[in-house]
Amino acid sequence: MLETWLTRELGITIPLVGAPMGGRAGGSLAGEVTRAGGLGLIGAARYNTAEWLEEQARSAREIGGGHLGFGLMTWSLDDDDSLLGAVLAHHPQVVTLSFGDPAPYVKRVHAAGAVVISQINTLEDLRVVEAAGVDAVVAQGHEAGGHTGRIGTLPLLQEVLESTELPVLAAGGIASGRGLAAVVAAGGVGALVGTALLASPETVGPDYARERLLAAGSADTVYTDVFDKARHQPWPARWCGRALVNSFTETWHGRGADEQTLADEYTADDPDIGVVYAGEAAGLVRSQRPAGDVIRDIGAQAEQLLGRFH
Ligand SMILES: Cc1cc2nc3c(=O)[nH]c(=O)nc-3n(C[C@H](O)[C@H](O)[C@H](O)COP(=O)(O)O)c2cc1C
C-alpha cells in the first residue's frame, strides 16, 4: 500500500482523489472511486440545487461506505454562499475550495469537521490559500481538463513542493500509475484525477461526451473561454477551460466573438457543438471502464513502479 499524508488523513488506501467535476461527477462516480480505495468528490456547480446535492450525497455514501467529499468553485461563493451551507449540511470529510481566495470560508468548513483542500495554479495562489488556513493544496497544471491555470503540472508541482510545508497533491494529466508514481516520488502526497474517469459509465452527462473522449488523442484539446461565454458562466478571466476540440471551438475559439453571438450559436444537444471538458490525458483513456477499475489500476501500477526503488 502507498501510504502518504492523504491516505492517513482520509483513511483511504490509494492516494487518489476523484476530481470534483461539475456536471460530470455525481454520487455514483464519487462513490465508486471511494469504494475502490480513493476518495471521490462530488462536483457542486453553481446551477446545482440542494435537492440534487442531497441525492448525490446519499448515493456516494451508500456506494462508498460512508466517506463523502464535495468540490466548490470559490469565486462563485462570493456572490452567493448558499451552496456551501448545502454541502456542509451533509457533513463531508473533505471540501475543495478552488479558483479564488478561500479565506472567508475556511473556518466554516473546519467547524463542520471537514478538511479543506484548494487547487492552485501559481505560487501567488499558494500564498493566498496558505494565509487562508487550508489543510492541503493541489498543484493543478495547464494540462488539466476543465478550468485551470497556465503553468504545466510538472513545473508547478516542483515549485509548489519547494515552497510550502503543506501537503501537496498534483492534478492535470495524471491518468496512469506512471503519473501517480511520478508525483509521489517527487514528494507529493497523491493525485487528483478527472479526465481518467470521464469515459466511465458512472459519470453524469450525455453519451457523446464519453464517445468523443474515447475518440480523442492528447493533442485534441483546447484551452478556451468560448463555452463559458456561450453558456453565460461568469468565470473570472484568468481561468479558461480545457475541452475537446469540436466544430464550435474550430469556428469560434480566438475570434473574439461576444457572449450573445456565442450563446445564439451554441446548443448542448449537438455532439459537434456541445462542450466536453477534458484534459491532455485524453489519449490515455482508451475504453469505457468502471471508475473503480481505473482507480485500482492506477494505484496498483504506481505501487509496483515505486516498489522498484525499495
Ligand atoms: C468535466 C470537468 C469538470 C470540472 N469541474 C470542476 C469543478 O466543478 N470544480 C473544480 O474544482 N474543478 C473542476 N474540474 C477540474 C478538476 O478538478 C481537476 O483539476 C482536473 O480534472 C485534473 O486534471 P485531469 O483532468 O487531467 O485529471 C473539472 C474538470 C473536468 C474535466
pLDDT at 30 over 70: yes
Q: What is the pLDDT of residue 310?
A: 67
The mean pLDDT of 38-57, rounded to a whole number, is: 95
Ligand 1 site, residue 279, Cβ cutoff 6 A? yes
The mean pLDDT of 95-110, rounded to a whole number, is: 98
* Site to substitute for ligand 1 among 42, 125, 140, 147, most atoms within 8 A of C-beta: 147
- Separation of 309 CA from ligand 1 center, angstroms? 31
* Site to substitute for ligand 1 among 21, 138, 210, most atoms within 8 A of C-beta: 21
Per-residue cell: 188? 507529493
SS (H, E, C) 53-99: HHHHHHHHHHHHCCCCEEEEEHHHHCCCCHHHHHHHCCCCCEEEEEC
Per-residue cell: 279? 484534459
Q: How many helices (H) and strands (E) does the chain have?
A: 14, 12
- Separation of 145 CA from ligand 1 center, angstroms? 5
The mean pLDDT of 68-89, rounded to a whole number, is: 96
Residue 242 contacts residue 173 (beta carbons within 8 Å) = no
The mean pLDDT of 244-264, rounded to a whole number, is: 98
Percent of the chain with pLDDT over 90: 97
Q: pLDDT tens digits for 57-72?
A: 999 999 999 899 999 9
Per-residue cell: 29? 462516480
pLDDT at 1 over 70: yes
Q: Determine the distance from the C-alpha atom of residue 135 to the mean position of all C-alpha atoms in its chain, rounded to a whole number.
A: 17
- Separation of 82 CA from ligand 1 center, angstroms? 22
Separation between Cα atoms, residue 61 and residue 225, nearest integer Å: 34
Q: pLDDT tens digits for 119-169?
A: 999 999 999 999 999 999 999 999 999 999 999 999 999 999 999 999 999
- Separation of 72 CA from ligand 1 center, angstroms? 11
pLDDT at 225 over 90: yes
Give the H/E segment covering residue 139.
strand 136-140
The residue whose grid cell reads 475570434 is 255
Q: Give the ranges where the chain is alpha helix by DSSP (H).
A: 5-10, 27-35, 50-64, 74-77, 82-88, 103-111, 123-132, 153-161, 177-186, 207-215, 226-230, 247-252, 259-265, 291-307
Q: What is the pLDDT of residue 309?
A: 78
Domains and CATH numbers, the chain: 5-201+287-307 (3.20.20.70)
The residue whose grid cell reads 450563446 is 263
Q: What is the pLDDT of residue 66?
A: 85
Q: pLDDT tens digits for 186-217?
A: 999 999 999 999 999 999 999 999 999 999 99
Q: Model confidence at 308, in pLDDT bands (50, 70, 90)?
A: confident
